[in-house]
Amino acid sequence: MPAAFVTHADCLKHEMGAHHPERPARLTAIEDQLIASGVGQHLTRFDAPLATDEQLARVHPLDYVRAIRDAAPRSGTIHLDPDTAMNPFSLQAALRAAGAAVLAVDLVLQKKFSSAFCAVRPPGHHACRARPMGFCIFNNVAVAARHALEQHGLERVAIIDFDVHHGNGTEDIFEGDEKVLMASIFQHPFYPYSGTDNPADNMFNVPLAAGSGGRELREAVTQVWLPALEEFRPELVIFSAGFDAHAEDDMAMLRFADTDYRWVTEQLKAVAERHAQGRMVSMLEGGYALGALGRSAIQHIKVMVGLT
Ligand SMILES: [Zn+2]
């Protein structure tokens, strides 16, 4: 079955300042590598729809959604937190990013595609139930998971977060939720300084020291993630796909290589094939070194498509 690629031009118009690392060129870098690698011709492209208030309200209080709508400026830039800003296009971009999550889940659960990658921004995994944070406004993977559970009636969804930062927003939303298993690795101690303090039973967090690379990733996945996932038997695998643990990415100090993203995706694809009919949805999170971001995303997508 072919794979879907969900994105939208509105996601290129969201800008948070001239020197902000979370910038439109990140999406262009992925598009360039899709062409250069030839992988793009194996994907069916979709424009992301706007998420509805109903879809967002499964994750965020409606008051929060309304506050974000009200905060959106008509001109200039406003700051939601020291790292997270909105320009006049940011609301549309954030609604497209969350809407991409909904469409990707629909495409995969309606058996039109076995997997879907969403090249969207703003990212989402730091967005808590009622708080924007760390470049994130709405929690896109959480919107995807709740849509799969509540609209499609799934019982068990796994969220796999390999971004270098802990997905504290996703943990805030799902801690203690027996229908969701979250497996993550992240540099620690490091922003947002969470994920190690007595996590709930459905959280499988593996903090990694600065300087850790592919070997430590393999240990975390084989010793912690895979046993938990085998027991949980997810019906859908959702990736919080951040590529900022790459050695070339100056945002943090982990040392992953392009091929580590292929390896970790292969491990999760095998889980999805055993338990979830191969169904995978992936949402872009971080990744700020443009070359490494593009190449690593291609490694990840190639495995989902079945090109390796
Ligand atoms: Zn990150």
DSSP-assigned states of every residue in the chain: --EEEEE-GGGGT----TT-SS-THHHHHHHHHHHHHSGGGGEEEEEPPPPPHHHHHTTS-HHHHHHHHHH--SSS-EEEETTEEE-TTHHHHHHHHHHHHHHHHHHHHTTS-SEEEE--SS--TT-BTTB-BTTBSS-HHHHHHHHHHHTS--S-EEEEE-SSS--HHHHHHHTT-TTEEEEEEEESS-TT--S-SS--TTEEEEEE-TT-BHHHHHHHIIIIIHHHHHHH--SEEEEEE--TTBTT-TTS--BB-HHHHHHHHHHHHHHHHHHSTT-EEEEE----SHHHHHHHHHHHHHHHHT--
Q: How confident is residue 84, by pLDDT bands cut at 50, 70 and 90?
A: very high
Neighbours of ion ligand 1 (CB under 5 A): 163, 165, 242, 244, 286
Q: How far is the CA of 251 from the centre of ligand 1 (A)?
A: 8
Q: How far is the CA of 126 from the centre of ligand 1 (A)?
A: 9
**Is 20 in the active site?**
no
Q: How far is the CA of 252 from the centre of ligand 1 (A)?
A: 8
Question: Of the listed 8, 14, 125, 126, which one is catalytic?
Answer: 126
Instruction: Please tell me the pTM assigned to this model.
Output: 0.99
pLDDT for 308 = 81
pLDDT at 1 over 80: no
pLDDT digits (tens, 9 = 90+) for 256-306: 999 999 999 999 999 999 999 999 999 999 999 999 999 999 999 999 999
Q: pLDDT averaged over the chain?
A: 98
Q: How far is the CA of 78 from the centre of ligand 1 (A)?
A: 22
pLDDT digits (tens, 9 = 90+) for 125-169: 999 999 999 999 999 999 999 999 999 999 999 999 999 999 999
Q: How far is the CA of 164 from the centre of ligand 1 (A)?
A: 5
